[in-house]
Amino acid sequence: MRIPKDILPRKLYLDKIKDFANKRIIKVITGQRRVGKSYLLYQLIEDLQKEPDSHIIYINKEDISFSDIKNAQQLYDYVKTHIDTKKMNYVFIDEIQEINDFATALRSLLLIENIDLYCTGSNAQLLSGDIAGFLSGRYIEITVYSLSYPEFLQFHKLNDEESSLDKYLKYGGLPYLKNLELKDEIINEYLRSIYDSIVYRDIVNRYAIRNTLFLEQLVQFLAGNIGSLFSSKKISDFLKAQKINMASNQVQTYVQYLVNAFLIFKVPRYDIVGKRVFEIGEKYYFENIGIRNSIAGYQIDDLGKIMENAVYNHLLYKGNKVYVGVIPPNEIDFIAENKGEKAYYQVALSIKKEDTWKREFGNLAKIKNHYPKYVITREAWEGNTYEGIKTLSLRAFLSS
């Protein structure tokens, strides 16, 4: 196979994957289309090709050359046919969700001693339900996200300065952007093509959706309301006011399709006092800020929302489980949990006005525990903490 030139390594993910190399466990790499899953495989293959006792078997379901592999039996037969019995066989399967009953083939291939399995998928439900049970204890899932801010700087050869952060918040972190001139008309055309690919290939075709107009209007609505608290019923009621009739259970189904395709994230609310997750009402953020901006536009009055989306995405990138916090009657933008530890975050475009800083710091001050608490703002702040609550500039936070 031909490896693309000038691949920039994404060390965070490579290190995670390599921790499980040569172990009898399936490495499943998931994430939105075009976030760089295939390029991670290429980097792994490039390293392995230097090993004399390695044999590479690569299957790309987006390549017509592999169109005959449609089900588990055909996948199993293809791999078996191409095994080198005298070497370690590294099997890479790109976009495995295109193969019916793929889990059956993976489980059987795992029985072969000299095979190490890697695969990618663009669906969050790839290993859900029965499949997860069927492969229980036999796989590790690693989710890949759009470029973090430091990766964006590396890919575009930019210095860490406010103008670079502006570009990141405007265009987002799809890796291929490094090959394009960072101009609105060029980037927006590319981002819209990726959006169309996600909607029609990963949602409309996969779930046989007929009401594509409603689906696009739903995405438009969510893009304009990132960070707002909604339930399926509230979304349904709002759309009805716009002469768009769709039952709340259907809205819930369509939202889940968007989540499954990694286009959006649904973030549940957590009661800090009662220590429970609310069943109704959640917030939505986009996996890629650039795609969101190509849908809703990049408006100056949306900067606070876009900042909040960027903070959420960075918390995910750092390996956190993230909730919206509730300490009645107030709200905390984010609770981040990682390895038994917690941190709390408020996000504000500016804290220069007294009512703003009183609200942001005051909400955090009501949380009576000793976990770290932060207010993230676009402005740098060199002063002291407020009752132990730290202030971070957005650029400093995203650079961490």
Q: Are residues 183 and 332 in the same domain?
A: yes
Print burial letters for 286-322: b (CB count within 10 Å at least 16), e (below 16).
bbbbbbbbbbbebeeebeebbbbbbbbbbbbbeebeb
Number of domains in the chain: 2
Q: Are residues 138 and 153 in the same domain?
A: no
Higher pLDDT, 2 or 400: 400
Q: Mean per-residue pLDDT for 360-386?
A: 91
Q: Is residue 5 part of a domain?
A: no
> Residue 235 has what pLDDT?
82
Indicate which CATH number applies to the domain containing 77. Answer: 3.40.50.300
Q: Which domain holds residue 116?
A: 11-143
User: What's the pLDDT band for 382 if we cut at 50, 70, 90?
Assistant: confident
Q: Is residue 6 part of a domain?
A: no
Higher pLDDT, 177 or 386: 177
Q: What is the 3-state secondary structure (H, E, C) of 310-331?
A: HHHHHHHHCCCEEEEEEECCEE
Q: Are residues 241 and 357 in the same domain?
A: yes
Average pLDDT, the chain: 94
Q: Are residues 285 and 395 in the same domain?
A: yes
Lowest mean pLDDT among 70-84, 123-137, 372-386: 123-137
Q: Are residues 75 and 181 in the same domain?
A: no
Q: Are residues 257 and 310 in the same domain?
A: yes
Q: Could you say which of 143, 169, 184 is where a domain stops?
A: 143
Print burial letters for 97-130: b (CB count within 10 Å at least 16), e (below 16).
bbbeebbbbbbebbebeebbbbbbbbbbbbbeee
Q: Are residues 319 and 379 in the same domain?
A: yes
Strand order in the sheet with 88-94: 54-60, 88-94, 115-121, 26-30, 139-143
Q: Could you say which of 143, 160, 191 is where a domain stops?
A: 143
Q: Are residues 346 and 325 in the same domain?
A: yes
Give the model confidence (pLDDT) of 285-323 as tens digits. 999 999 999 999 999 999 999 999 999 999 999 999 999
> Residue 237 has what pLDDT?
82
What phi and psi values does residue 335 have, to the nearest 5 degrees?
A: -110, 125
Distance CA(31)–CA(215), nearest Å, equals 21
> Residue 129 has what pLDDT?
67
Q: Is residue 43 part of a domain?
A: yes
Q: Is residue 4 part of a domain?
A: no
Q: Which residues pair with 286 in a beta bridge?
A: 264
User: What's the pLDDT band for 130 if we cut at 50, 70, 90?
Assistant: low
DSSP 3-state assignment of 201?
Answer: helix
User: What's the pLDDT band for 192 if we cut at 50, 70, 90?
Assistant: very high
Q: Are residues 134 and 62 in the same domain?
A: yes
Q: Are residues 174 and 127 in the same domain?
A: no
Give the model confidence (pLDDT) of 221-262 as tens digits. 999 999 998 878 888 887 777 777 788 888 999 999 999 999
Q: Are residues 137 and 155 in the same domain?
A: no
Q: Is residue 3 part of a domain?
A: no
Give the model confidence (pLDDT) of 164-183 as tens digits. 999 999 999 999 999 999 99
> Residue 385 has what pLDDT?
86
Q: Which residues pair with 115 in a beta bridge?
A: 89
Quick check: 365 pLDDT over 80?
yes
Q: Is residue 286 part of a domain?
A: yes
Higher pLDDT, 382 or 45: 45
Distance CA(68)–CA(76), nearest Å, equals 12
Quick check: 127 pLDDT over 90?
no
Q: Is residue 343 part of a domain?
A: yes
Q: Are residues 130 and 278 in the same domain?
A: no
Q: Is residue 1 part of a domain?
A: no
Q: Could you say which of 118, 143, 168 is where a domain stops?
A: 143
> Residue 70 has what pLDDT?
97
